[in-house]
């Protein structure tokens, strides 16, 4: 579904990638798998609004292809430092997030849900505030060297406050939404 944000992974880049890989018109065979960029779409992506620091991106990544694919990294103009995170219980049983070594693998004809409290794309060192209603472009990079673009709207979200596994990152949560954090420059009317 196209929405007010003209969402959805761009089909263009996928088509371009097919041409690049030189297998346009060739049905995907095991010996010659379709490029991941052509079989992966991100449905309903969104990123949590935050004024500074770090944030997280969510959505459902679908693999329509016959091979498992692996997302090794994500790039975005919004952040120079993106990581793929999972959320796991630490020794004391608390849920913490940490980098997912080896990237996200999406099984053939399967999907991966990125959601608050679970796996997500971590955007660190944000270039500028992520304002609600704006959009963030992200490029999912796959292990076969192909990629897929997605446009994620930014939304206010009270949750997604997972702790980072590692005390040196103290305070580096996804940002607590300040309810008084209005769009106004001046004091606002409550």
Partner 1 sequence: MPHVDAPAKQGPSRRGILFGGAAAGLGAIVALGIDSLSSAAAPAGGSEPLHGQAVIPFYGSHQAGITTEPQAHASYVALNLRDGLDHESLQRLLRLLSDDAARLTQGQAALADTEPELGTVPARLTVTFGFGPKLMELAGSSAGESQPLPEFKIDELEERWNDGDLLLHIASDDPLSVAHAQRMMLKDARRFASVKWVQSGFRRSRGSEASGTTMRNLFGQVDGTVNPVPGSEDFNSVVWNADGSTTMVIRRIRMNVDTWDELDRSGREFSVGRTLGNGAPTTGSKEHDEPDFEATNALGFTVIAAHAHIRRARSENTNERIFRRGYNYDEPPTGSEISNSGLIFVSYQKSVAEQYTPMQQRLSDLDALNQWTTPIGSAVFLIPQGCAEGGFIGETLFAA
> How far, in Å, CA of 115 to CA of 79, rounded?
19
Whole-Å CA distances, 8 to 5, 34, 81, 148: 9, 20, 23, 10
Find the binding residues for partner 1 in span 124-183 (CB under 8 A): 131-134, 153, 155-159, 179, 181-183
> Are residues 103 and 127 in contact, defined by beta-carbon separation less than 8 angstroms?
no
Q: Which does 70 bind (CB under 5 to 8 A by kind): Cu ion, partner 1, none?
A: none
Report the SS3 class of residue 173: coil
Site string for partner 1, 86-115 (x = CB under 8 A): ------------------------------
Residues in contact with 74: Cβ distance below 8 Å, sequence separation at least 6, in sequence order:
57, 82, 84, 121, 138, 139, 140, 141
> Are residues 137 and 78 in contact, defined by beta-carbon separation less than 8 angstroms?
yes
Q: Which does 92 bind (CB under 5 to 8 A by kind): Cu ion, partner 1, none?
A: none
Closest approach of partner 1 to the CB of residue 71, in Å: 20
In the list 10, 44, 66, 110, the residue contacting partner 1 (rule: CB under 8 A) is 44
Q: Which does 122 bind (CB under 5 to 8 A by kind): Cu ion, partner 1, none?
A: Cu ion
| Of residues 117 and 145, the one with the C-beta less far from partner 1 | 117
> How far, in Å, CA of 31 to CA of 87, rounded?
35
Closest approach of partner 1 to the CB of residue 27, in Å: 31
Which chain residues interact with partner 1 by CB under 8 A?
1-6, 44, 46, 48-49, 58, 131-134, 153, 155-159, 179, 181-190
């Amino acid at each position: 579904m196209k929405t007010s944000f003209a969402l959805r992974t761009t089909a263009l880049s996928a088509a371009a990638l097919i041409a690049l890989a030189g297998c346009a018109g060739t049905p995907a065979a095991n010996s010659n798998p379709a490029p991941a960029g052509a079989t992966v779409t991100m449905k309903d992506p969104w990123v949590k609004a935050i004024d500074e620091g770090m944030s997280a991106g969510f959505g459902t990544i679908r693999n329509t292809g016959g091979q498992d694919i692996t997302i090794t990294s994500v790039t975005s103009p919004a952040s120079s430092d993106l990581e793929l995170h999972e959320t796991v219980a630490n020794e004391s049983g608390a849920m913490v997030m940490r980098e997912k070594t080896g990237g996200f693998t999406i099984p053939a004809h399967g999907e991966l849900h990125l959601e608050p409290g679970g796996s997500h794309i971590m955007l660190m060192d944000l270039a500028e505030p992520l304002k609600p209603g704006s959009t963030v472009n992200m490029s999912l990079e796959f292990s076969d060297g192909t990629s897929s673009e997605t446009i994620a709207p930014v939304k206010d979200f009270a949750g997604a406050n997972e702790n980072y596994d590692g005390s040196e990152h103290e305070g580096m949560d996804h940002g607590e939404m300040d309810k008084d954090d209005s769009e106004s420059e001046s004091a606002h009317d409550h």
